[in-house]
Structures are given as C-alpha cells and as structure tokens.
A and B are shown apart, each in its own frame.
With several copies, the nearest count.
Chain A
Amino acid sequence: MVFSADEMMASVAARELADGDVVFVGIGLPNLACNLARATHAPNLVLIYESGAVGATPSRLPVSIGDPALVTGSLMVCGMADVFQCFLQNGRIEVGFLGGAQVDRWGNINTTVIGDYAHPTVRLPGSGGATEIAAHARRTLIVAKLGPRTFPEQVDFVTSPGHRYRGTPRSAFRMPGQGPVTVITDKGVLEADAKSGELVLAALYPGVSVSEVRAGVGWPLMARTTLREIAPPTARELQLLRDVLDPDRLYLKG
C-alpha cells in the first residue's frame, strides 16, 4: 500500500504512546499521532497543551496550541503557571513531543538560532516550552525528517537539553526526565544509547537501507547490532489519518 513519510511518522509516533499516558503535545504531526493513538490502542490518553487545556477532545483539527477548540469540552483549563509548575515540573507528564530545526548526536535540540547567537544568520522562534519539556517529561519523543542540516554533529545552540552538554553527561545535571529517548524520522527510528546517550539507529522503515539513514545524519551514525523493521501504517491507521484526523492535509503534506 502506498503511504507518505508523514503518514508513516504519525503512525510510528502513535505506537510509542501507551494507554493512559499523560502527554504534553504541540500541534502538527505529534497532535495527529496522539489522536491516532486515542482512536486505536490508547483511548485513555490525556493530552495537555502548554496553553493550559487539559484533556482536550477538539471538534476540529487545532491550528494552534491555543485553539479555542482545545478549550471547549476539555476536562480542565488552568493557568500557565500551573501547567509548568503543577503538571510539568511536578513530574506528571509521561511523554513530551518535540521537534526542532537541528537535532544533534546527543539529542540536543536547537530552536533558537542558526549561526552565532548575537548575529544569527537565521533567527528561529526560540524555546517556547521545549527547554522545560526536555528536562521534565519522563520521556521525550523527537519527530523530525532526516537531513545533514537538520541532524548535525553539534547544534549551533542548545535550546533543549539532550544527553550530553559540552562534554558533560545529562546525569550530572540531575534532570527529572530521561530526555529524548526516541527520534522518529522519515526513514527510521533513532534511540539514545542507554550508556553513552548518543543517538544510534535502532529501527528501519520498510525498504530503507542503513546507508540511506546515514546519508541524512551529520555524524558517523552507529547502528544497533540487530535493527528492528517497523511495520508500515495499517489500513486502519491510514484510513483514520486521511479520512478522519486530517482530511484537509493540514499536516500530512508529504
């Protein structure tokens, strides 16, 4: 069956979520993945948006994390001080989704600047809540398409902490969360090595070779001795994504 990279990534991300998980989610593919999980194996997933909407069940695809559809019919609306202190810093968030302009060898994410901070060639939006999500969510999932510019050996600016910062391992910073344990790309899945914290190739999508993945990463990517092969989206997953969750292809672009 034919499917796009976005559809594959959304399906793989959905399968990473367990029923009952409390998920800190943004818009786009992560939002699609959460709603796909809710519609399949995780009906009791609780979605929390940094805007303060808890347990949202939007009647339309939200176009921003502050969409009014996330409020109407939600379980709770709280102030952002509560979102960050009582939910996130409190340790109530099991999974946090993050993306980024750059993701490096150690899972550090850059959403701040390309180039020098004081005189950037590209000024990116900045952290938003990503810095604290990467520190506090029990597990962080990164969703990003492969490419040497997106996956450099080292990011230009560390906005969200990965597993090693300027040579110091994450453990030294005593962060509550495990950090980015899984990176869902358009060709396969990278995982942080339990010991070193370095991102390594753990699973391939159907018909993808290791060299194809390596071509999209800016450092000598190591691979697990046995690579999992990930099943393609099921007919049910594709039907939900295409007909129910994003019929207008707002986020399922390619």
Chain B
Amino acid sequence: MTDSASKVLSMHDAIARYVHDGDTVVIEGFTHLICFAAGHEIIRQRRRDLTLARLTPDLIYDQMIAAGCARKLIFSWAGNPGVGSLHAFRRATEGAAPSLELEEYSHFGMVARFSAGAARLPFWTMRDYAGTDLPRANPAIKNVVCPYTGEQLATVPALNPDVTIIHAQRADAAGNTQIWGLVGVQKEAAFASQRVIVVVEELVDTAVIRADPNRTLIPGVIVSGVVVEPWGAHPSYAQGFYDRDNEFYVGWEKISRDPARLTGYLDEFVLGVEDRSGYLARHPGLVERLRASQQVCAGVNYGF
C-alpha cells in the first residue's frame, strides 16, 4: 500500500498472479503506451474466456483474439490506426456465425464507463447517442431524466475490470506512476479496476516521484504489481523513450489478413520466445531505429 513496500515482480509472475481465466482485462493506452509485452505474456500463459476491454483494440487485441484468449470484446473503435482493418477481429465478427461477442460504444461512451467505474458510481451521464443505432445495437446504453430540467440524457453503466494493465514511462517500487505525453483514459481505468499492474520503462527511486508530484497519474495505493519491461510497449510508443513502429503497423495488414501467417507470427514472436528480452532479440536494429530524440523540458520550482 505504500512507497516503501516493493511490488516489483516479473511479467510472468504478474500475469500468473493477477490475470485469471474469465477475467475482464483492460490493457489501456490510446496509441501511446500500449503494453504489448503484457498481452504477449497473457497469450503465452494461454488465458481463456477473457472479456477484453479498451477503446481501441489495436494490434494487441487482434493478436489475443487470434490466439484464442478472448470470449468477448468491449470497445469503441476496432481498426489498425492509419492503415485499415484488424483482420483477426473481422474474421471473429463477420458472417453468419461470429465467434466473438461484442459490446460496442463510442469513445466518449467508453471513457464514461471508466469514469463511472473510477468514481464507483453505477452509471455515467452524457449528452450522446440520440438519433443513432448504437442504443439498438447495445441495450446497455440507456437514459436518465434530469431532476432539474426534465430533459432526457444518455447513460452508460460503470465498467470495473478485474485487472487493468498500464504501461508508463516510470514508477517507483510501490507503483507510484508518472506518465507524460498522451494519458488517454489510463487514470480512470486504473481507479476503476480491482487490480492494477503497472509496467514501466524505468524503475525509479521514490525521490524521483516526490520531486515532481504533479506528474503522478496513478498512486501506489491502488497498484498491485510493478513490472520493469523496457520497450514493453513496442510496436506502440513511449514518449521520450521510443517512437511508434509505423512499419510494423503497416506490415500487420498482410500478416493479419492471412490466418496462417498470423499463426506463424505468434509462434515466432510470442509463443516462440520466453519473455520480452527474447522478443527484442528477434528484432535486431529496433532500438537504434526507434530510440527517441532528446527534447527535455525545463523543471518547475516546488519550493515555498
């Protein structure tokens, strides 16, 4: 619960301990800081019947769907950003007998579900969904009448995952976590969750966190485990550490289109390696190609 008790453990142990078959699992991060390393370990440990939730399933959930981890998907935009489709997702959802159950919202709806979960309220209110087919497609989208104006507003139910996995630039051993660049909906997802795993590029002394407390997005008191996994967000990115691997995203189109190639990819880069270091060993030149340039901002004065 505190900044002196260490919660550091390996990715293998974190997934083994905190992610169980049938869990509702969230690996958040909007384009930025998507923890592929955790998704791959979940695939390696062959978790099943998971309800996967996040705004943008992205390549990581496409891989987990292809690997058979997922029973259901809760989402708001399922594409390959800037490229096209997630083909494993499409194969599981198109045609006469879809194999993947879907619960679909807009981005705002997903953000609102996490916001309600983080506040431990049963629902969140929005001005949205009027004149669309989304409430017909998803009966969980309901309405409430304002006790002041009498107007009807949309509601979504709280989402409280069993476990949320957040990738971050740095945290201390107690899980006090600092993120900069895009922060998406990670704070809300973490506070909404029963368990939180933080995966970091860099484990830092608590003094580093305490030197700039306004940067802390997730407090250690809600964190179950801390995993140190540099480059753990590849092919997504970590601001200040490495760039997004756009070539990989573009290349995923061909891989995911062909089930055999996708299986081959998983065999080679996920099931075929022990851990993240094994993954990185199979990507020679990656570090040199994507390492971030230096654009360090000035500090601010916390004196009084």
Residues of chain A whose beta carbon lies under 8 Å from any beta carbon of chain B: 20-22, 27, 43-46, 50-55, 57, 63-69, 71-82, 84-86, 88-92, 112, 117-123, 125-132, 135-136, 157-162, 165, 168, 170, 173-176
Chain B residues within an 8 Å CB radius of A135: 127-128, 130-131
In the complex, B209 has a CB within 8 A of chain A: yes
Most central of A63, A128, A159 by chain B CB within 10 Å: A128
The answer to whether the Cβ of B261 comes within 8 Å of any Cβ in the partner chain is no
Q: Are A74 and B210 in contact (CB under 8 A)?
A: yes
User: Are B108 and A123 within 8 A (Cβ)?
Assistant: no
Q: How many residues of B contact A (CB 8 A)?
A: 82
A-B pairs with the 6 shortest C-beta distances?
A66-B31, A125-B79, A68-B304, A161-B131, A44-B2, A128-B77
Q: How long is the Cα–Cα vector from A21 to B243 in the complex, in angstroms?
A: 30
Question: Does more than half of chain A's interface fall in helix, strand or loop, or is it mixed?
Answer: loop
Q: Is the beta-carbon distance between B176 and A75 smaller than 8 angstroms?
A: yes
Closest Cβ neighbor of B222 among chain A residues: A92
- Of B7-15, B44-52, B211-219, B273-281, the one touching chain A: B211-219
Q: How many A-B contacts if CB must be within 8 Å?
A: 241
Residues of B115-165 contacting chain A, CB below 8 A: 115, 118-121, 126-134, 136-137, 151
Given A78-B183, A128-B106, A158-B132, 13 extra CB contacts under 8 A? A51-B30, A51-B184, A55-B176, A67-B31, A72-B239, A72-B302, A75-B213, A88-B108, A92-B221, A117-B136, A127-B76, A128-B76, A135-B131
Report the bound CA distance from A73 to B85 in whole Å.
31
Please give me the residue from chain A that is nearest to B174 by CB atom: A75
Main secondary structure, interface of B, reads: loop
- Residues of B within 8 Å of A72, CB to CB, are 239, 295, 302-304
CB distance from A48 to the nearest CB of B (A): 9
Residues of A within 8 A of B119 (CB): 85-86, 89-90
Q: With A and B bound together, what is the CA distance between A65 and B115 in angstroms?
A: 22
Interchain CB contact (< 8 A) of A126 among B75, B120, B129, B243: B75
Q: Which of B82, B133, B176, B302 contacts A112 (CB 8 A)?
A: B133
Complex interface: chain B residues within 8 A of A136 (CB): 127
- Known: A44-B2, A65-B31. Is A176-B81 also a contact (CB below 8 A)? no
Question: Are the C-beta atoms of A75 and B30 separated by less than 8 Å?
Answer: no
Beta-carbon contact of A127 and B106 below 8 Å? yes
Shortest Cβ distance from A250 into B: residue: B82
Q: Are B184 and A64 in contact (CB under 8 A)?
A: no
How far is the CB of B150 from the nearest CB of chain A, in Å? 12
Which of B18-26, B92-100, B197-205 makes up part of the contact surface?
B92-100
Contact between chains at B3 and A55 (CB < 8 Å): yes
Distance from B160 Cβ to chain A, minimum over Cβ atoms (Å): 10
- How far apart are the CA atoms of A170 and B132 in the complex, in Å? 11
Chain B minimum-CB-distance residue to A52: B182
Q: Which residues of B sit under 8 angstroms from A121, Cβ to Cβ?
A: 94-95
Contact check, B239 vs A68: say whether CB atoms are below 8 A apart. Answer: yes
Complex interface: chain B residues within 8 A of A122 (CB)? 90, 94
With most chain A CB atoms within 10 A of its CB, the pick from B1, B115, B209, B219 is: B219
Given A79-B183, A174-B151: A63 touches B210 (CB 8 Å cut-off) = no
Residues B93 and A112 in contact, CB atoms below 8 Å apart: no
Q: Residue of B at shortest CB range from A69?
A: B304
Q: A159 — nearest CB in chain B belongs to which residue? A: B132
Closest Cβ–Cβ distance, residue A150 to chain B (whole Å):
16
Cβ of B40 within 8 Å of any chain A Cβ, yes or no, is no
Determine if B299 is an interface residue (Cβ-Cβ < 8 Å). no
The reply to whether the CB of B271 lies closer than 8 angstroms to some CB of chain A is no
- When the two chains form their complex, are residues B303 and A77 in contact, meaning their CB atoms are under 8 A apart? no
Q: Is B105 an interface residue (CB 8 A)?
A: yes
Write the chain B residue with the least CB distance to A156.
B133
Q: How far is the CA of A55 from the CA of B32 in the complex (A)?
A: 18
A123–B89 touching, CB < 8 Å = yes
Is B94's CB under 8 angstroms from A81's CB? no
Cross-interface CB contact of B213 among A76, A126, A132, A174, cutoff 8 Å: A76
Give which listed residue, B108, B133, B216, B295, contacts A159 with CB less than 8 A: B133
Q: Please list 10 pairs of residues, one from A and one from B, whose beta carbons are closer than 8 Å in the complex, sorted by A's number.
A: A44-B5, A53-B182, A55-B3, A68-B32, A75-B213, A77-B213, A81-B185, A112-B133, A122-B94, A175-B127
**Chain B residues near A86 (CB-CB < 8 A):** 118-119, 187, 191
